[in-house]
Amino acid sequence: MQIAEKKTIAQYLLDAERERREVVRVTVDYPELNVENAYAVQEELVRMKCEENLSIVGLKIGLTSRAKMEQMGVEEPIYGYLFNNMLLENYGELSFGTCIHPKVEAEIAFILDKDIEGPGVTGAQVLAATEYVVPALEIIDSRYENFRFTLPDVIADNASASRVVFGNSLTRPDRIDLDLVGMVLNINGKAREMAAGAAVLGHPAHAIAALANMLGRKGETLKTGQIILAGAVTEAVRIDIGDIVQAKMDGLGDVGFTVVD
């Protein structure tokens, strides 16, 4: 893929995000887009955001549970970057008007106190490099029409990243069996989705290891201080104005937000 094409596609996706409108998926016009050059587009998009003085606060790995893979019709995890302007206050408000067609996912987040460099990273190494785990809600908002895309499309679109909310309670990773953590995603006080941590590649730390190993192939590392989302344990749920969203995670605490106009 030519540099000019990468820039054109990255700008197309950034404009869609800024103007809050859904667009035709990239592979309609660029059927040759594959996973490798989709990550090159994503890198360009990340570079453009950094040029606008946004800063990277962490990363996300997505499509790490069977439920999500089946929902989106894909077979492998993907990653994307989290920026400072994506952070929502815990139990704060998400303005629906600033989104296109948002969905929410309950996830476990890892706060690192050591760098993690792949390849060959294991879940045990991830836990040893983790200062705290926290409950999180990720708001995804694909820039594509009807949330429909191929794997290269969603990679180019920074893995649909839009917002993220972190809970206030910090738990040391050696104090909890993350695979056994039960969680309930409540919408307007009703349990909408429920699962256990093991839904994410058998153990959420395996997802962070998979991410470190994917980045390691490009010579990139997960860095001290970054917050990493391990991926949704359940399907993503559409949200609308007035919705009160809360995830409760056994031993980890809770996290929430309300959707306003």
Instruction: Write the CA distances from 177 to 78, 112, 144, 181, 206, integer angstroms.
Output: 25, 17, 37, 7, 13
Is 25 near ligand 0L1 (CB under 6 A)?
Answer: no
Q: b/e string for 53-75 if b means 16 or more Cβ within 10 A?
A: eeeebbbbbbbbbebbeebbebe
Least distance CB 144 / ligand 0L1 (angstroms): 8
Stretch that binds ligand 0L1, among 10-18, 62-70, 116-124, 186-194 (CB under 6 A): 62-70
Minimum distance of Mg ion from residue 7's CB (angstroms): 27
Rounded to the nearest 5 degrees, what angle is found at the Cα of 146, between the Cα atoms of 144 and 210? 60
Choose the binding region for ligand 0L1 from 39-47, 56-64, 239-247, 250-258 (rule: CB under 6 A).
56-64
* Residue 185 β-bridge partners: 193, 247
Note whether 32 and 66 are within 8 A (CB).
no
Q: Contacts with Mg ion in 122-141 (CB under 5 A)?
A: 138
Q: How far apart are the first and last CA of the chain?
A: 40
Residues 6+ apart with CB under 8 A from 57: 82, 83, 84, 86, 87, 226, 227
Q: Which stretch binds Mg ion (CB under 5 A): 18-26, 58-66, 71-79, 126-134?
A: 58-66
**Cβ closer to Mg ion: 62 or 77?**
62
Closest CB to ligand 0L1 among 117 and 259? 259
Q: Hey, which bits of the chain come out as E strands?
A: 56-62, 78-83, 87-88, 92-95, 103-112, 130-140, 161-166, 182-187, 190-196, 227-229, 237-238, 244-249, 253-260
Residue type, 21: R
Residues in contact with ligand 0L1, shown as a per-residue x/- string from 67 to 106 under the rule CB under 6 A: -x---x--------------------------------x-
d(CA 182, CA 52): 39
Instruction: Answer positive or negative: Cα dihedral of 45, 47, 53, 57.
Output: positive
Segment interacting with Mg ion, rule: CB under 5 A, options 73-81, 90-98, 209-217, 231-239: 231-239
* Residue from the set 142, 150, 186, 234 that interacts with ligand 0L1 by CB under 6 A: 142
CA 110 to chain centre: 12
* Residue bearing tokens 């606008």: 52
Over the window 76 to 105, marking each residue x when it contacts Mg ion by CB under 5 A and - when it does not, the resulting string is -----------------------------x
Cβ distance to ligand 0L1 smaller for residue 114 or 192: 192
Could you say which of Mg ion, ligand 0L1, none residue 44 binds, taking C-beta under 5 to 8 angstroms by partner kind?
A: none
Binding mask 221-250 for ligand 0L1 (x = CB under 6 A): ----------xx---x--------------
16 binds ligand 0L1 per the rule CB under 6 A: no
Q: What residues make contact with Mg ion under the rule CB under 5 A?
A: 62, 105, 138, 232
Q: What residues make contact with ligand 0L1 under the rule CB under 6 A?
A: 60, 62-63, 68, 72, 105, 138, 140, 142, 154, 159-160, 231-232, 236
